């Protein structure tokens, strides 16, 4: 019986970067496409919007926990099979979510979708680390981050359009279909990035011992751990806005769902701008810690200004969105550098480090999301702004007190 031929994409192929970037956007589409229709989802099940927003938190919990297993497993079995399995899980559970008969069922499927998306994301990060090093790795991470920035630009608007045709359930069907396409493409074009000599071929017991040792090694590596904490805290600041923006712009300021999608797209364009700028500046030799410092200044400054305006009672579209754009530019510059900075000191356990980073950042994001939703008062943006400022200031503290001293010791 004949089989379809496989045509592997070479490491430096733009198509490979595009495929990896597409796989990395699954989580962004899964969260951002549902933002404008949280009220519709709540009405469908007879629950509050705050309860419907738990679909974001449960997704992120799955995203956080699964990589703790799938990352080390990829060090053992290879990246390709784990990546394909995670994406397939996302597709299947997305289809099941579309047919959910209760909020509890939807939360279960969202949890498993998050597990699949989390697996895919950490494997993409590890594959970039497998294939590239130094400046080139940071540039490739920037391109993956750029794709992650494009997804939020279009996802809310796409969600509104899809929901207008088939309701909120059609969103999950669309997510499942998109993931299925990516699984098929990856099956026929994606090669294994982990060299055979790097595969952990030990017994299961020995492998578990190695996994524990790997996590311990990452946690003891001060520079790597510092960057991991920065990635988590910056993600918390970012997700505070992602969660709170729909509550504030739609619930408080009364913008329409379509307008919200356009405003969110404007904000997310900042993420793309930051990613592109980071790639170009990195190629020109600007030190990555310098880029991180610039980005953190933008993130922290805009968060503090937003909180000040909120406390003064100045809550408007013109007060929120332009500042969010500048803050997103900072996120686009910081993320590629902290991700690569976390993996570079521990190349032998990149899968473990990537998994740990993803888990910590998603737990942080889920916690921040739950807090923003729980303390949202229906009349202001304070819960969102307080969370943004707290995460940004803690990230700056990690940069100053942990990352920079550790960097000087290793220089």
CA 168 to chain centre: 22
Tokens encoding 246: 């729909």
Q: In this structure, is residue 411 part of a structural domain? A: no
Q: In this structure, is residue 8 part of a structural domain? A: no
Tokens encoding 48: 């509050």
Residues 282, 288 contacting (CB under 8 angstroms)? yes
Q: In this structure, is residue 1 part of a structural domain? A: no
Task: Categorise residue 176: left if φ over 0, alpha if ψ from -120 to 50, beta otherwise.
Answer: alpha
Phi first, then psi, for residue 182 (nearest 5°) are: -65, -35
Give every CB contact of residue 168 below 8 A, 6+ residues apart in sequence: 34, 37, 40, 41, 44
The label of the residue with tokens 């059609």 reads 170
Give every CB contact of residue 403 below 8 A, 6+ residues apart in sequence: 223, 226, 227, 230, 289, 292, 341
Helix axes of 54-65 and 103-131: crossing angle, nearest 10 degrees? 40
Q: In this structure, is residue 198 part of a structural domain? A: no
Q: Whole domain around residue 72: which residue ranges?
A: 14-191+203-406
CATH assignment at residue 229: 1.20.1250.20
The Cα–Cα gap between 50 and 377 comes to 11
Averages of pLDDT over runs of 10 residues in the chain (411 residues) are 56 80 87 82 86 84 84 81 95 95 94 93 82 73 68 77 91 95 92 68 65 84 93 92 86 84 80 85 87 95 95 88 93 88 80 80 84 84 94 96 86 59
Task: Report pTM.
Answer: 0.73
Q: In this structure, is residue 382 part of a structural domain? A: yes
Q: What pLDDT does 92 receive?
A: 97
Q: Provide the number of structural domains found in the chain.
A: 1
């Amino acid at each position: 019986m004949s089989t379809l031929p496989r045509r592997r994409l070479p490491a430096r192929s733009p198509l490979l970067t595009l495929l990896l970037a597409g796989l990395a956007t699954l989580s962004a589409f899964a969260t951002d496409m549902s933002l404008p229709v949280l009220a519709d989802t709540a009405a469908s099940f007879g629950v509050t919007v705050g309860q419907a927003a738990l679909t974001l938190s449960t997704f992120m919990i799955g995203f956080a926990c699964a990589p703790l297993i799938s990352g080390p497993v990829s060090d053992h079995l290879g990246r390709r099979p784990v990546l394909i399995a995670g994406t397939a899980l996302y597709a299947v559970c997305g289809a099941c979510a579309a047919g959910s008969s209760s909020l509890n069922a939807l939360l279960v499927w969202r949890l498993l979708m998050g597990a699949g998306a989390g697996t895919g994301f950490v494997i993409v990060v590890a594959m970039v680390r497998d294939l590239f090093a130094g400046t080139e790795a940071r540039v490739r991470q920037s391109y993956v981050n750029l794709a992650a920035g494009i997804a939020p630009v279009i996802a809310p608007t796409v969600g509104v359009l899809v929901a207008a045709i088939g309701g909120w359930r059609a969103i999950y069907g669309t997510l499942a279909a998109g993931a299925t396409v990516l699984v098929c493409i990856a099956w026929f074009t994606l090669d294994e990035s982990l060299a055979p000599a790097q595969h952990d071929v030990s017994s299961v017991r020995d492998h578990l011992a190695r996994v524990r040792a790997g996590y311990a090694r990452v946690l003891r590596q001060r520079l790597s751990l510092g960057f991991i904490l920065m990635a988590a805290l910056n993600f918390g600041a970012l997700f505070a806005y992602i969660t709170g923006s729909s509550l504030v712009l739609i619930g408080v300021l009364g913008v329409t769902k379509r307008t919200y999608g356009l405003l969110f797209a404007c904000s997310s364009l900042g993420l793309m701008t930051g990613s592109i700028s980071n790639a170009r500046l990195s190629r020109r030799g600007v030190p990555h810690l310098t880029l991180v410092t610039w980005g953190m200044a933008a993130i922290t400054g805009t968060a503090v200004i937003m909180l000040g305006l909120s406390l003064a009672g100045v809550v408007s579209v013109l007060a929120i969105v332009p500042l969010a754009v500048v803050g997103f530019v900072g996120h686009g510059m910081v993320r590629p550098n902290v991700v690569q900075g976390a993996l570079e000191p521990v190349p032998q356990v990149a899968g473990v480090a990537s998994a740990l980073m993803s888990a910590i950042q998603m737990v942080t994001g889920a916690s921040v999301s739950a807090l923003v939703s729980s303390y949202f008062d229906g009349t202001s943006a304070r819960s969102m702004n307080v969370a943004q400022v707290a995460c940004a200031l803690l990230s700056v503290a990690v940069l100053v007190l942990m990352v920079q001293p550790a960097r000087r010791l290793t220089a």
